[in-house]
Amino acid sequence: MAVDRFKLAYIGAGSFRFSRGFFRNIVNAQELMPMEVALCDINPDSLKIMTKILEKMVAKAAKILGYDENNIKISSSVDYNDALENADFVYKSISVGIQAAEWFDNYLPIKFGIPQNTGDTCGPGGLFRSLRTNPVVADIAKSMKKLCPKATLLNYTNPQASIVMSARTIAPDIQYIGLCHELFGGSKAIMNFGNDYLDLGIKQWQNMDLEYGGINHFAWYTKIEYQGTDLYPAMREKYLELTKKNYSGKGFNWYLLGKHNYFCYPGSRHVAEFLPDYFNYFNHEIQCPYWKFPVIRDVWGLSYNRRSSYWEFNAMAKGIWPIPGPRKKGERAMEMTLDWRDDNPTHHVVNIPNVHPDYPKIIPQLPDDCVVEIPGYFKGQKMLPIKTINMPNQVADLVRPHAEQTRLTVNAALGNDLDLVVKAMLHDPMAKWIEDEDKLEYLTKLMLYYQQE
């Protein structure tokens, strides 16, 4: 007799950053059992290794937690259509081009005067990552319309805004949701401040009353309270001291609080790329000794980390490296899957369209046609915003140019037209330092040439 299984599809199962922790959460999720986990990766060698690791994790978790190994059925394919067929929930962590393309994303623009310490969201690096990734994203969305139209997809791939917009442009009815961890680090910094400076005794940052909004990697708190205490007045009073201390590793964020009256919560390196005026100026240690951004992304270091991780993965698959056990904490994917299935109104930080037929405009101060990062919850298996988020004008003025850039990037990624790519490059706020448009067009063509494979 066939077992009715909840089907999870994971596209990009060879991800060296995401897969290991995600697997630990899957084998811990007894509430979703019996389940089928359909793994997909275009690299057959990586797929074989990760499938073997998941099999070993299932065996270990079954012994620790006392369930039948048959409660988790594992399948694998290099074709994501196989994984998507009749899937209930989908997860994606793909990287098109991997580290090879990131050399060109970062080291070509800096020769033209555009430094990028990350290069995965905005600027030339973010644009070209979108050019590589978004056509694949669009194809996945088309397949979901055909093979699993009621499924929800959680996206862990950058750049979040353009990827979510591309998918929803192709398949507006698909629940395609972008996720990011940056809120957690920013909220812990605020919690630390509340405890260190105000003696509030906050046990978990989730206990604070937070409102926030913006775009991925450039979002701001509009409200920070704990048990009726507004933390913003004390934060504003202490911003310079906190800047000089590089408090909680967010010196640049505290500096921006002093300049703009609100706290931008993502990591400083991400935020800096959205503010090239600050990034280019404060990149010099003599001018601002309280924090330091890398001039350029350490692609070699990332490549080394990838090789090290895959050495461990190989060793795990062969049984000569310890297999991690089940774990509930880590990624929020399993919690979100349960909330989706059971209609739990838990709040999650998500990236969704600013305007959609399912809800009114979320952030009035930003364009209708953009993707915003806000708190949301599942209702009727749809992701909805908690409320309207009113963004202060001085902050909205900073965010708006980047929000507008998203549609230009998506048009370039899906349009198969050189002029659209050049237009997106010329409009990007990071490129404003280059006054010669011919030079930017040459950079665009040069990056296309080296990334054509």
Longest dimension (CA), the chain: 72
Is 64 a domain residue? yes
Q: What confidence score (pLDDT) does residue 288 get? A: 76
Question: If 0-12 CB within 10 Å is exposed, 13-18 middle and 19+ buried, where does residue 124 land?
Answer: buried
Among 325, 341, 357, identify where a domain stops. 341
Mean pLDDT value of segment 293-304: 81
Q: List CB contacts of 228: < 8 A, sequence separation 6 or more.
A: none
Residue 313, number of CB atoms within 10 A of its CB: 20
Q: Which region among 67-76, 239-248, 272-281 has the lowest average model confidence (pLDDT)?
A: 272-281
Question: Do 278 and 152 share a structural domain?
Answer: no
240 is written with which tokens?
């310079």
Question: Do 137 and 38 share a structural domain?
Answer: yes
Residue 175's DSSP bridge partners are 152
Question: Do 166 and 18 share a structural domain?
Answer: yes
Is 429 a domain residue? no
Mean pLDDT value of segment 4-30: 95
Q: What confidence score (pLDDT) does residue 220 get? A: 99
On average, the pLDDT of the chain sits at: 94
The confidence band for 167, taking pLDDT boundaries of 50, 70 and 90, is very high
Q: What confidence score (pLDDT) does residue 267 get? A: 94
| Most trustworthy range by pLDDT among 188-197, 288-297, 431-440 | 188-197
Is 395 a domain residue? no
Is the pLDDT assigned to residue 285 strictly greater than 80? no
Q: What confidence score (pLDDT) does residue 166 get? A: 98
Mean pLDDT value of segment 119-147: 97
Question: Do 42 and 31 share a structural domain?
Answer: yes
Question: Do 170 and 199 share a structural domain?
Answer: no
Q: Which domain holds residue 275?
A: 182-282
Amino acid letter for position 257: L
Question: Do 172 and 85 share a structural domain?
Answer: yes
Mean pLDDT value of segment 60-87: 98
- The owner of tokens 């089928």 is 36
Is the pLDDT assigned to residue 380 strictly greater than 60? yes
Are 130 and 282 within 8 A, CB to CB? Answer: no
The confidence band for 287, taking pLDDT boundaries of 50, 70 and 90, is low
Question: Do 191 and 166 share a structural domain?
Answer: no
Q: What confidence score (pLDDT) does residue 331 get? A: 83
Are 335 and 372 within 8 A, CB to CB? Answer: no
What torsion, rounded to 10 degrees, do the Cα atoms 265, 270, 274, 276 define?
Answer: 120
Name the residue among 359, 363, 409 with its Cα closest to residue 382.
359
The confidence band for 453, taking pLDDT boundaries of 50, 70 and 90, is low
Is 388 a domain residue? no
Mean pLDDT value of segment 214-224: 99
Distance CA 367, CA 405 (A): 10
CATH number of domain containing 325: 3.90.1820.10
Q: List CB contacts of 2: < 8 A, sequence separation 6 or more.
A: none
Mean pLDDT value of segment 93-108: 86
Question: Do 193 and 165 share a structural domain?
Answer: no
Question: Do 188 and 162 share a structural domain?
Answer: no
The residue ranking higher by pLDDT, 104 or 421, is: 421
Is 15 a domain residue? yes
Mean pLDDT value of segment 343-368: 97
Distance CA 76, CA 65 (A): 25
Amino acid letter for position 321: W
The confidence band for 282, taking pLDDT boundaries of 50, 70 and 90, is low
The confidence band for 379, taking pLDDT boundaries of 50, 70 and 90, is very high
Q: What confidence score (pLDDT) does residue 2 get? A: 63
Is 223 a domain residue? yes
Distance CA 285, CA 221 (A): 28
Question: Do 172 and 30 share a structural domain?
Answer: yes
Name the residue among 379, 390, 392, 391 with its Cα closest to residue 348.
379
Distance CA 49, CA 32 (A): 24
Question: Do 96 and 144 share a structural domain?
Answer: yes
Question: Do 188 and 164 share a structural domain?
Answer: no
SS3 assignment for the chain: CCCCCEEEEEECCCCCCCHHHHHHHHHHCHHHCCEEEEEECCCHHHHHHHHHHHHHHHHHHHHHHCCCHHHEEEEEECCHHHHHCCCCEEEECCCCCHHHHHHHHHHCHHHHCCCCCCCCCCHHHHHHHHHHHHHHHHHHHHHHHHHCCCCEEEECCCCHHHHHHHHHHHCCCCEEEECCCHHHHHHHHHHHHHHHHHCCCCCCHHHCEEEEEEECCEEEEEEEEECCEECHHHHHHHHHHHHHHCHHHCHHHHHHHHHHCCCECCCHHHHHHHCHHHHHHHCCCCCCCCCCCCCCCCHHHHHHHHHHHHHHHHHHHHCCCCCCCCCCCCCCHHHHHHHHHHCCCCCEEEEEECCECCECCCCCCCCCCCEEEEEEEEECCEEEECCCCCCCHHHHHHHHHHHHHHHHHHHHHHHCCHHHHHHHHHHCHHHHHCCCHHHHHHHHHHHHHHHCC
For the chain, percent of residues with pLDDT exceeding 70: 97
R_g (Cα) of the chain, nearest Å: 22
- The owner of tokens 């048990």 is 227
Is 354 a domain residue? no
Name the domain count of the chain: 2
For the whole prediction, is pTM greater than 0.85? yes
Is 300 a domain residue? no
Mean pLDDT value of segment 154-162: 97
